[in-house]
Structure 1
Amino acid sequence: MIFPQEPFAIQEEFALYDLELVDAPPERAFDNLTDLAARLLGVERAMILFSLTSQDTLYVKSAACIGAYSDQDCIGARYRLSRSFSREVILAKAPVAVVDGATDPRVLRRKVDNCQECCAFLGVPLSLPDGSCVGVLCVTAPDPRVWSDEDIRLLTQISQCVDEQISLKQALKETEVAEEAAREAAAARESFLAHMSHEIRTPLNGIIGGVDLLRLSTDPAERDTLVETIDRSAQNLLRLLNDALDLSKVDAGRMELEEAPFDPCAVAREVHQLFKPNAEAKGIVLEMRLNGFEAREMRRGDAFRLQQVLANLVSNAVKFTDHGRVVLTLNADEAGIGVRVRDSGCGIPPEQLPKLFEPYSQAEASVARKKGGTGLGLAIVKSIVALMGGEISARSTLGKGAEFSFDLPLPRLAPVAPPRKVRSGATGFRGARVLVADDSSANRMLISRMLEQLGATVVLAADGEEAVILASDGGFDMLLLDIQMPGLTGVEVIQTLRAADLAAEGLTLGYAVAVTANVFAEQVEGYLAEGFDACLAKPLRLDDLKALGAPLERRQFANA
């Protein structure tokens, strides 16, 4: 190191090369400015020099010469930086004027080499847009010269023009990079949409085709199989939509983590059980290893998001493995847990590994067409792991398999006793009177049939106005209100009913539930703030409704 460098000196040199300010052809814009400097100050030579500190070099980007010098002899030349007046300019980040190099104290102290061809020197600093001093605009004369304030002012103004030209080059470079990134993103989105269209149509085909066959079938066993096919297809479709929503949360910075005690071994076992049938159907082994865990050990973190990560990694491993095994390993210590998912599948090409966790990316188009997938899963996994304080990595040998690994700082908590059995809430609907308001006849039919299966008496409303009229008479144990209805929305219905103060008339409003597909955390908080008691996410299943019966069940026991 020739003289003390700023922390980002190497980055600045990279910037000089990237902007083609060093080791690049001459540019008319810079040559015009050096010519202007030479003419206005009446000197024999003006130069634009950029410093390469790590090489102890001054590179001549542009030069305007008169007399013994020629422009072409100077442009592209390299001088020693450490023993030059230009070094003093860069260190001071201010103009430096030398009247007579032969008598200058810096030359006499041998800090700077005297040049017989250059006696007088005037230099001003040049900077990148971030303010980093990276070069010098200088003029020289063969005889002693006292530089006036006007000389310094003129050269400083010209240096500002040079800085502006540098800024323009950087802006153009950033535009080129942005355009290329936009083209790549557009191509990735186009590929994603093609894959997503295929992935959505596949479960839709299972649902629509299954329904058609269900209408025609009279064989109970065949009907059961068709129902399972329809259910599995619907779950796959829901997974696709959830992946897209999760990615949008990540992009918007709206994904939040829950901090609560949970059992990581139970999470791993659930994932193992979930994908074990898929592995067995392909003739491969799905193995789980839990190392270093205490009995009923608890950790603090987000169990749902950890399960989402494990499920995604194991699902991919099973999908891309046709022979051998998939191994899910969790290693525990006091500070956290380490996760490894290893498979003996087809592996990942080395050139694809750097892009593996980018949205809309998949290892190979041919493999994507054969195995399926949208290219969203690993992008979501990377974001969730990062939010949880870890960093996921992947390594692979083509044809031999892949391994994904990460460590999470999940502190160990004291073991807990086995949880007591809690009520499911299903009995809470027995004898309950429930108002269901939804503008979709299909939703009304499905929700009412589910509630009737649980023992409830159901009253239906097709819009918000009808819901207000029916609920105003009281007598309902629960209100299930769709949020997006024509006329009065679900929020407006609950606001109207809360404002009516039914209790003053001796009537009860009932447990109010918002039924919606808008289930971002801030949206749910907004519904609760408007007067709802709970929120039910669409699409809903019978188990979701059973859970809602718990408040009614508690009320029944309280009144018993």
Structure 2
Amino acid sequence: MQNTLFKTLFDARAILFAEKEPILIEWVNETQCSTILVRHEIDRDIFLELYAGNVFDYFMGVVSGHMALGDCPVIGELIEYLKNKELRADELFLLCTHFKRSVLNATYRLGINDQEVFVAISYLFDQNFAGVLKLYTDTIYQKEQEALNASKAKEYFLSNMSHEIRTPLNAILGFVSLLRDETTNPRYQQYLNIISNSGENLLHIINDILDFSKLRSGEFTVDPQPFNIHDEISHTMELFVPGANSKSITLTSFIDPTIAYEIVADALRIKQIVGNFLSNAIKFSHHAGAIHVEARYDEGILSLSVRDQGIGISTVDQERIFDAFSQAHEGALKVNEGTGLGLSICKQLALHMGGDIELKSTVGEGSLFTLKIPVIANHQCEVSKFDVSMFEGIKFGLLAYDPSESYKLESLQRYWDHFGLDIQIINNVQESCNLLIFLESSMDDAARETIIKNQIPSVAILDFLDERYDTIETIVPLTFPIYCTKLQSALRDVLGINTPHLPHRTGLRGRGGFEGRVLVAEDNLANQELIKIILERYALSYTIASNGAEALHYYQSEYFDMVLMDEQMPQMNGNEATANILAFEKATKRPHTPIVALTANVINGARERSLQNGYDAFLGKPIVIKEIEQIFERYLKPIALPEMEPCALVVSKWPHIDMEHLKTALMLEEDQIDYLLGIYCQKMEHLLQDLSLGIEKRSYEDIAFIAHAIKGSSANFRFDELSRVSSVIESAAMEKEEEFEFSEAYEVLRGEFEKRFA
């Protein structure tokens, strides 16, 4: 059959062989074929030499009877070559079709065209294309499966790593918060603040690890929000004080007081970069050296720099130090601490924020790293960072110091000059002044004894915090790094100036509250009650909606200062409700109300997706008091509240539940937790019954929805195993995994519930 079909073509094979080059040139020059090659960056000459020519020879071999139809090794090589070029099936079809057309055109030019030749060429190409398409499908499918398996493995690792590290950290931070509320010793308060800030910094690092793959894949997004650069940078510096102290390094700083109190940028990423600069500066500085941090703002550009007096970086290393896995060398010594990823990540973060990182360094003299990024400054938000009026008429005396230590006071003198304080250099502690300031490291014992004996009001500038002045009421210690609020606090304390101000709140036990009305969209009853209690403790009024449609109705008929929107709800989910609210605001020209997403999905780019869906901010479940408080601080007006009376001791109805842990984690009183647990228990009984029915009916949509509700509620009460098992059930239902043992997982879930509520 085949020999008969190809007889006429067989007789003309020599003529076609002679026309090989023009046929191939016409093929690759055809407009569509040429476009495909360019689009996928396929080298034209390589394609002609290694693939096109061999494909032509294969077809002639079939015509000559030397090769079997459909068994073309070069086609397999071509598919393998094109596999990583993301070539689509329709593009492959066009390439094959135009090859056939070029051969047919040649038969017309050469005068060997007839019906038999046309049929033979068409049959030859059509049969071969069927084999090509099968090979293409198998190859691409294999590639996609490999990518899918790799993605699942990565997701499994990230999810488990996040859970396993975050769980003990939450316990640590909870108990630190409890201790911080109970201790009154200022030094212990500072230690606890450092522990708390370090723990939170570690949580941020975990999130950065989860984000690293997004930076590499291009999925990373910047989250610009209003924040106070003065507070954020000062808090970041405090985290590195213990490390600097361990090497007797003096950490000085100057945060330009003219920088607006509120600027809009990604505060978390900025702190991450500055933190990396500080970590490296301490690591590569000599013992008893100095590090200086400076923040400036000029025409929309925020500059944050860290200067050290360390080993410095050679010119050669400066060219590659921002490359991934690259580390600097110092002579023959390779500094191999760490992964070499820190500065590479910082560089990518800076570029993502529209900025860059500059480096100046000299070997043996030190380095200067500067982050420069565009920010939006809100100059209308005027909050005093240093109240000069407190010190009107106060004469300050700065005791003469060793000139070699002048660098310690350079930034402090810049603050004094900016605020116009009356600072006079004095040579003797008995010279007349209202308040004495002295540098502890330049102080002699006799002068110190005179200050203590005569009870001279003084501020002692210390390199490191210690106990030497704890029992001396007339001397207030001031340690590096020094910034506006820290300086003002020390001066006010030593002068006995007690001005009313809102305290920095550390949780629900504090006296800080907020003014405003909040719309809460949440379908879970236990979660509703928890949010109600939190809002009431902050003196906020609220309206509760049980689904997105109800939330939209309330929003359209009433005024709110903030919306807390659960993402998964019946009738209308949070994303749909948010889109409708934004459309309503646009249509009615109503001022925008901040909308905060509430979701139990804390991985898989949930934050980025929430912001893309129109939310202003993101809150993960379980609800963390400090996080929701930060949201309130960002969007609502703070007010002062009276101290709360302690609640009477309550005997818990739940002997199998660690109430102390819950009190710490939720920052609620035991009677409130008892109340919430009763609602949770009742709701869970219904949810578990509904879940069992959904599994029996194999209704994947119902299973996923109910499991998600259980996951969120359980997470709020820190029932980690209940939350984890329900999350597994939810994922399996969403993927419609037919082989998943839903009934077995349900029994595990119910068993975990009954352990606590037997």
The structure where helix makes up a greater share of residues is 2
> Would the TM-score normalized by the shorter structure come out above 0.5?
no
TM-score for the superposition, normalised by structure 1:
0.44
Higher strand share: 1
Q: TM-score, normalised by structure 2?
A: 0.35
